[in-house]
Amino acid sequence: MSGLSHDIGQALSQNLAWAGPIIGLVTFGESLIVIGALLPATVILLLLGGLIATGAVDATVVIAWAFAGAVAGDAASFALGRRLGTRALRHPMLAKHRRLIARTRLFTRRHGVAAIYLGRFAGPFRAFVPLMAGVSRMPSRSFHLANFLSGGLWVAAFLSPGFIAIRGASLVDRNVLVVGAIVAVLGVAIAVVLRHRATPRPCQVGLVAC
């Protein structure tokens, strides 16, 4: 993984004009089943945050490509899960990931739509949650809204540390910090609310089937 991160980092440093498309492809690939476990998108986002701070790359271009790749990748995995259903889980490529798949399936069922937010930051679950959401027939509208919002939070969360590390917190515009804090709080609040709504209610005789 470190070798791949180094290679991509070198490609970025030598082709800064292509930073946007490169990170777009990386964030797209990281959202795909199996492939996502091999791509170090978070590491590259941290690096790009620093490059944005130095002015080496355009922030708008990088953010737009990273966001588009992350959202499109999750949408593709979700569509695949919806189309194939449980057949997707029996593919030979997934034979070595059965335990992780089982854990991700339980994670998605337990948290519902909130799993889309939580999955962005859940390490090994990252590339499997969108597929499981599709397999479990999560409502498309709910998934795509959560995918859109969580994609923005994820990109901001991993670009910010590199940016602040280079520029220094004291040099960051106060308005940017305020907006970032508001976005972070809203993101956490949305995840908590969705997680609460996704929690199964206790059985009630005559009202809910046990």
Is 113 within the bounds of a domain? yes
Q: What percent of the chain has pLDDT over 70?
A: 67
Q: What is the pTM of this model?
A: 0.72
Checking if the pLDDT of 68 tops 90, the result is yes
Say if residue 102's pLDDT is above 70. yes
Residue 120 maps to a domain: yes
First CA to last CA distance, the chain: 46
Judged against a pLDDT cut of 70, whether residue 1 lies above it is answered with no
Per-residue pLDDT for 7 more than 70?
A: no
Does residue 204 sit within a domain? no
Domain count, the chain: 1
- Amino acid at position 28, single letter: F
Assigned domain for 208 exists? no
pLDDT tens digit sequence for 21-31: 888 888 898 87
Helix extents (H) in 31-58: 41-54
pLDDT for 110: 84
Q: Which residue has the higher pLDDT, 76 or 109?
A: 76
The count of residues in the chain is 210
Mean pLDDT to the nearest integer, 115-144: 85
| In-domain check, residue 86 | yes
Q: Could you report the per-residue pLDDT of 175-208, keeping only the tens digit for each? A: 555 555 555 555 555 555 555 554 444 443 333 4
Amino acid at 27: T
Give the structural domain span for 33.
2-198
Cβ neighbours of residue 77 closer than 8 Å, sequence gap 6 or more:
31, 32, 33, 127, 130, 131, 134
Q: Indicate whether 55 belongs to any domain.
A: yes
What was the pLDDT predicted at 196? Answer: 52
From residue 190, how far is each of 83, 106, 145 by CA, in Å? 28, 21, 11
- By the 8 A CB rule, do 180 and 64 touch? no
Residue 48 falls within a domain, yes or no?
yes
Is residue 146 a part of any domain in this protein? yes
In this prediction, residue 172 has a pLDDT band, given cuts at 50, 70 and 90, of low
Determine the pLDDT at residue 72.
Answer: 94
Mean of pLDDT values over 74-100: 80
Q: Are 193 and 185 in contact (CB under 8 A)?
A: no
Q: What phi, psi does 15 have (nearest 5°)?
A: -140, 60
